[in-house]
Structure 1
Amino acid sequence: MSKPFQKELASFVGKLLRDHFGKGPESVYVSTQGPFLTIYLKNFLSPMESVLFGQGQDVTIEKTRDMMMKALLPEMKAYIQHATGIAYNKFYYDWSLHNKSGIIVGYNRDQLDQLEEITYKGKEAFEKEIDSISHIVQRSPGAIHSYFINSRTLIVIREEILIRLEKELIRQGHDELLVLTKRRLEKEYFHNNNHFETILEAQITDIFVDWDFMHDNGLIIFILNPK
């Protein structure tokens, strides 16, 4: 994806969110690498959301945004596919309300083999920490893959992560409750980990998580500020 189109897509996403939320993000950063498209949003919190956040109504904001994103994603996907010819199979998204930031990630599973799993300093130790936290919260993943999309964005794919109880909740239609609960629990553990920054030699400014329950996988996105 060319730099001009990345700017064009950033402008489109900013306007789309502004039209539907009443206030768009102050900054939108678009990056692509292999099967991934990342859209990082900064200073994105509407006046009404700010009031709710101040009252501790985080869940209300997340529920509303989830409903809004389900309505907006088809238009976003169609725009990207028309402009690039790339059809992303799945879009993940999450918010960091205290940082007024958010992430949208397009993922094309069919192109995963085009992205070499390049070794980076601390990769083995980093993935071991991911496995350890996953084991505490739910279970050790069947597989863990991590990729640097750029110097500030590290994406982790976890496969085969759902336990039987979670699968049953999904079967009974409790996906939303499961996502909200897992987001809060997992991010608490990830943010409280004392080893990630030492291993990566970078300050972690944001952590986002989301899942594809149908294919039993999940993404973790680390936004870094290299030291």
Structure 2
Amino acid sequence: MGIKKSQLELASNIGRLLRDHFGKGPESIFVTISRPYITVYLRHFLTPMEQALINEKHELTVEETRDKLMLGLAPEMMELIKNVSGLKIEEFYYDWTLANASGIFVGICADDDFRADYSYPESIKVDMEISNVSKIAEKAPNQIYSHQLNPRTLIVIRKGILVEIEKMLIELGFEEQLTIAKRKLEKGLLFQRKELFEEYLDVQIDDIFVNWDFTLDKSTIVFILNPNK
């Protein structure tokens, strides 16, 4: 099956899967397969109940509920991706921007035999600014690199960012609370620098997503880009 056909089939199947679990699916889903990455960008994804909670300033409840649903949904989605694309996902990340009713899924597969050139202008400046954000939020990453998968999707990988107090919180079972706190902190810092990233990339940025795999001490950041005409 060709990549475009796989992307369309995944978008359709993921929409059905989300409707089954959330009671409502996104209005639009954009799937990008760029080995070893698969990104799934969701737009207009908010149930009436979630909207009601947000209107009453209960965003935290929505985030906690979604995170719990994703514990069971993530393995099912990884299996779906494998069945459609043939790619085995070894790492899976997700994030939401409730204010935009948007979301992202990121799958990373082991593909050591495949190498692609995802370089882009000013990548060093972007990586340095991401490192500066990490320094404020926790510490500078041990390793950082970024790939522009297509004109609308930029992914940043950070490794080795957890500090000792975060590791202890994870060990004590506060992973969910740490995720929510880091999501709010880091996304706030990234959005504060949105205009700077737009200058480096010569684009408008529609959305920014971030998530972590605490076991691997690894993080993904995804910028959804809107290229300047």
* Partner Cα separation in structure 1 for residue 138 and residue 36 of structure 2: 27
Task: Tell me what 2:159 maps to.
Answer: 159
Following superposition, the deviation at residue 12 of structure 1 comes to 0.6
* Partner Cα separation in structure 2 for residue 16 and residue 119 of structure 1: 33
Following superposition, the deviation at residue 83 of structure 1 comes to 2.8
- Checking the alignment, whether the CA contact within 8 Å between 2:141 and 2:161 is kept in structure 1 is yes
Matches within 5 A, 1:55-74: 55-74=56-75
Task: Tell me what 1:121 maps to.
Answer: 121
The letter for the 2-side match of 1:73 is A
Following superposition, the deviation at residue 79 of structure 1 comes to 1.9
Closer/same/farther in 2, CA of residues 161 and 170 from structure 1, 3 Å limit: same
- Checking the alignment, whether the CA contact within 8 Å between 2:9 and 2:84 is kept in structure 1 is no
The letter for the 1-side match of 2:47 is S
Task: Tell me what 1:31 maps to.
Answer: 32
Task: Tell me what 1:174 maps to.
Answer: 174
Closer/same/farther in 2, CA of residues 190 and 113 from structure 1, 3 Å limit: farther
| TM-score (ref. length: structure 2) | 0.95
* Partner Cα separation in structure 2 for residue 84 and residue 125 of structure 1: 34
Question: Considering only aligned residues, what root-mean-square deviation do their CA atoms show, in Å?
Answer: 1.3
Q: Deviations over 1:45-104 (max 9, x none)?
A: 000001111111111101111111111122212222223332100110000111110000
Q: What secondary structure does 2:221 align onto?
A: strand
Task: Tell me what 1:48 maps to.
Answer: 49
Matches within 5 A, 1:1-227: 2-108=3-109, 110-111=110-111, 114-116=114-116, 118-193=118-193, 194-227=195-228
- Checking the alignment, whether the CA contact within 8 Å between 1:52 and 1:61 is kept in structure 2 is yes
Closer/same/farther in 2, CA of residues 113 and 129 from structure 1, 3 Å limit: farther
Q: What secondary structure does 1:176 align onto?
A: helix
* Partner Cα separation in structure 1 for residue 205 and residue 181 of structure 2: 22
- Checking the alignment, whether the CA contact within 8 Å between 2:118 and 2:149 is kept in structure 1 is no
Closer/same/farther in 2, CA of residues 220 and 17 from structure 1, 3 Å limit: same
Q: What secondary structure does 1:195 align onto?
A: helix
What is the number of residues matched between the two proteins? 226
- Checking the alignment, whether the CA contact within 8 Å between 1:144 and 1:158 is kept in structure 2 is yes
* Partner Cα separation in structure 1 for residue 102 and residue 52 of structure 2: 16
* Partner Cα separation in structure 2 for residue 163 and residue 177 of structure 1: 16
The letter for the 2-side match of 1:59 is L
- Checking the alignment, whether the CA contact within 8 Å between 2:22 and 2:47 is kept in structure 1 is yes
Q: What secondary structure does 2:205 align onto?
A: strand
* Partner Cα separation in structure 1 for residue 122 and residue 61 of structure 2: 38
Q: Deviations over 1:28-59 (max 9, x none)?
A: 11101121000110000000001111111111
Q: What secondary structure does 1:121 align onto?
A: coil
Q: What secondary structure does 1:9 align onto?
A: helix
The letter for the 2-side match of 1:102 is G
* Partner Cα separation in structure 1 for residue 205 and residue 43 of structure 2: 15
Q: Deviations over 1:126-166 (max 9, x none)?
A: 11111111111110000111001111110000010000110
- Checking the alignment, whether the CA contact within 8 Å between 1:156 and 1:219 is kept in structure 2 is yes
Q: What secondary structure does 2:215 align onto?
A: helix
